[in-house]
């Protein structure tokens, strides 16, 4: 599989507008690559920077520093026109809040027609109707039940599936799915996850699957990236990360998932206790909460290094410098 997306030293600092306001390093020196057809899950607790990474890749916000390469091209240099004509045809996204993605004044069908108007203006009514029906059926919706309806007349789960159907209409090379199945009930969720997998198999679509649900990440992804407060603490082959978690934060996360059928030995890590602890700016961000913390962790930022093949960790317990 060849490389599709490369993110290098990506950083986003939000500043509060006030004089003397504080900075939030929402994404801090994040680097990773995605191959064609690869499903990568981006896992981390609320506020760890997952959505910000998605928005940066989509150029919805500007990074403070770093690079984003798509098929080797510098995404940050694309003009508005290039983004619209080219990039957004290949990179599609489904976001967390489906209600925010629809215009409340229009029936949901319109969101499909906007896609057709932009990218396939020559399609006639009949062709459009067939594509919409197929796309909706694929995500388990009955077209008659949703077409002609306003967003407020549909459930969050139905709207989320319409968004997935619309995103897949363009057969994108990359789909950013940000908590895209969170509103679905368990059985539909598995159907939609399987659909994403099938889509990848059929069209080679890569998926950046953003979730705070480890079990979903495990189910769907080839590669797992674990984020903590804007930084990647561990990443690699999903089987390796789940069966041999290295970072104390990953170990704690896995320990707190009761029903995940993963066999790794519990090494006596305590669940975290210091909710909202002030994180270490110079050192490891997890240091104030880490049960295996050493002096060095407060002073020196650990860098990601490969501990076993395709399994990376940023933690002083494993050397690396």
Ligand X SMILES: Nc1ncnc2c1ncn2[C@@H]1O[C@H](COP(=O)(O)OP(=O)(O)OP(=O)(O)O)[C@@H](O)[C@H]1O
The residues binding ligand X (CB under 6 A) are: 14, 24, 26, 44, 46-52, 212
Tokens representing 56 are 């940066």
Binding flag, residue 51, Mg ion (CB under 5 A):
yes
CB atoms within 10 A of CB 80: 8
Whose Cβ is closer to ligand X: residue 51's or residue 250's?
A: 51
Binding-site partner at residue 48 among Mg ion, ligand X, none, CB < 5 to 8 Å by type: ligand X
Least distance in angstroms from the C-beta of 226 to ligand X: 12
Question: How many Cβ atoms sit within 10 Å of the Cβ of residue 134?
Answer: 12
At 218, list the tokens. 């495990």
From 26-34, 49-57, 111-119, 125-133, give the range in contact with Mg ion by CB under 5 A. Answer: 49-57
Query: Considering only CA atoms, which of 198, 193, 208, 236 is closest in space to residue 68?
Result: 208
The residue among 44 and 151 lying less far from ligand X, judged by its C-beta, is: 44
- Least Cα distance to 37 among 61, 10, 3 occurs for 3
Query: 């997306």: which residue's tokens?
Result: 5
Residue whose structure tokens are 């940066």:
56
Nearer to Mg ion, 29 or 178 (CB): 178
Select 51 or 238, whichever has its Cβ closest to Mg ion.
Answer: 51
State the minimum distance, in angstroms, from the CB of residue 26 to ligand X. Answer: 3
CA distance 6 to 4: 7
In order of 92, 106, 147, the CA distances from 113 in angstroms are 16, 11, 12
* Residue 14 contact partner, candidates Mg ion, ligand X, none, CB within 5 to 8 A by sort of partner: ligand X
Nearer to ligand X, 6 or 212 (CB): 212
> CB of residue 305 vs ligand X: minimum separation in angstroms?
24
CB of 159 to ligand X, least distance (A): 18
For residue 24, the partner it binds in ligand X, Mg ion, none, with Cβ less than 5 to 8 A by kind, is: ligand X
CA distances from 261 to 243, 269, 271 (A): 10, 18, 19
Q: Which range in 4-12, 48-56, 63-71, 139-147 contacts Mg ion by CB under 5 A? A: 48-56
Q: How many residues bind Mg ion (CB under 5 A)?
A: 1
> Under DSSP, is residue 39 helix (H, G, I), strand (E, B) or coil?
strand
Residues near Mg ion, by CB under 5 A: 51
């Amino acid at each position: 599989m060849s490389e599709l997306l490369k993110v290098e030293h990506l950083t986003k600092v939000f500043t509060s507008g006030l004089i003397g306001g504080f900075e939030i390093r929402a994404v801090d020196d994040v680097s990773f690559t995605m191959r064609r057809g690869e499903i990568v899950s981006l896992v981390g607790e609320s506020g760890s920077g997952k959505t910000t990474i998605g928005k940066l890749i989509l150029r919805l916000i500007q990074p403070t520093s770093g690079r984003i390469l798509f098929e080797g091209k510098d995404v940050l240099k694309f003009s508005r026109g290039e983004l619209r004509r080219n990039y957004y045809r290949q990179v599609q996204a489904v976001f967390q809040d489906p209600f925010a993605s629809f215009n409340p004044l229009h029936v949901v069908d319109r969101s499909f027609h906007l896609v057709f108007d932009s990218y396939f203006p020559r399609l006639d009514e009949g062709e459009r109707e067939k594509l919409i029906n197929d796309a909706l059926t694929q995500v388990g919706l009955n077209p008659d039940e949703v077409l002609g309806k306003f967003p407020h007349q549909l459930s969050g789960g139905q709207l989320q599936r319409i968004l997935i159907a619309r995103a897949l209409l363009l057969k994108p090379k990359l789909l950013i799915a940000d908590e895209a199945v969170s509103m679905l009930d368990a059985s539909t969720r598995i159907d939609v996850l399987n659909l994403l997998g099938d889509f990848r198999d059929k069209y080679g679509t890569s998926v950046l699957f953003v979730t705070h649900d480890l079990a979903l990440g495990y189910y769907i992804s080839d590669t797992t990236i674990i984020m903590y407060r804007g930084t990647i603490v561990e990443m690699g082959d999903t089987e390796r990360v789940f069966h041999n978690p290295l970072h104390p934060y990953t170990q704690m996360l896995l320990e707190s998932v009761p029903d995940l059928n993963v066999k790794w030995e519990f090494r006596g890590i305590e669940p975290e206790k210091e909710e909202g602890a002030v994180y270490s700016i110079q050192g490891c961000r997890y240091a104030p909460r880490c049960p295996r913390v050493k002096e060095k962790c407060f002073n020196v930022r650990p860098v990601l290094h490969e501990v076993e093949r395709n399994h990376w960790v940023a933690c002083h317990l494993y050397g690396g410098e």
